[in-house]
A = this chain, B = another copy of it.
Amino acid sequence: MDELKENQTISTEESIKEAAKVVFLKKGFAGTKTRDIAEQAGENLALINYYFRSKKNLFRLIMNEILEEFMDSILPVFNDPNTSIQMKVEKIAGNYIDLFVRQPDVPLFIMNELGEGSGCLAQSELKIEKMMHSEFHAQISKEYPHIDPEHIIMNVVGMTIFPFIGKAMMNGMQGIDDEMFYRLMDERRKKIPIWIQSILDGPQE
């Protein structure tokens, strides 16, 4: 019955992963000490390396889980031929904003690990290629043949996630406090699809 016990208390491995998630999201990768994770989990320091080989590996594991969950929530809509371009944009912008409002550290997290220095996510299951060759891509090609679908995808993603990446910049700015920021983000949820439509339709003559 070793593999089948139920009502079992949380495993050591799992408790470390949960603790790591909390600490990583609060302090970032560089700001997190493995000793913090061990303390938060109430486990011995050496067990982190025993179960996860390295701090970086543990970090990558957690990030991939978050991203995979997110992508799985996006892709079905993205590949559904029966939803319009506008609805797809609404879905992706809305889901990104929801995720980042709830977990403000994730965007920087992603960016952090794309650099060559850490490079954890570079070859991971980001599934971006699935986004690029999705039904969304095909729909744009068909309905707006004059514009490169890559540009539109870059615009949607850039307009959506940049403010969160740049939040640290903006917080220092006179005139944009947290309350205003979240109000702006809520506006963007509705406006980004409209803006994308304006871009697709082109300039007014």
Contacts and interface: CB of A to CB of B under 8 A. Distances in A.
Interface of A: 27-32, 105, 108-109, 111-112, 114-118, 121-123, 126, 128-129, 132-133, 148, 150-151, 154-155, 157-163, 165-166, 168-170, 172-176, 184, 187-188, 191, 194-195, 197-199, 201-204
Nearest to A160: B158
A174 B31 contact: no
Contacts of A105: 115
Nearest to A109: B115
How many monomers of this chain does the complex have?
2
Nearest to A26: B116
Nearest to A132: B173
A33 B148 CA distance: 41
A184 B30 contact: no
B187 A195 contact: no
Contacts of A198: 198-199, 201-204
A117 B112 CA distance: 10
A199 B184 CA distance: 16
B169 A126 contact: yes
A116 B27 contact: yes
Contacts of A28: 115-118
Given A162-B154, A197-B203, A203-B197, A173 B129 contact: yes
B129 A187 contact: no
A152 to B, nearest CB: 10
13 contacts: A30-B115, A31-B115, A31-B116, A31-B118, A128-B170, A129-B175, A133-B174, A150-B176, A154-B162, A157-B166, A158-B159, A194-B202, A201-B203
A114 B27 contact: no
A73 to B, nearest CB: 18
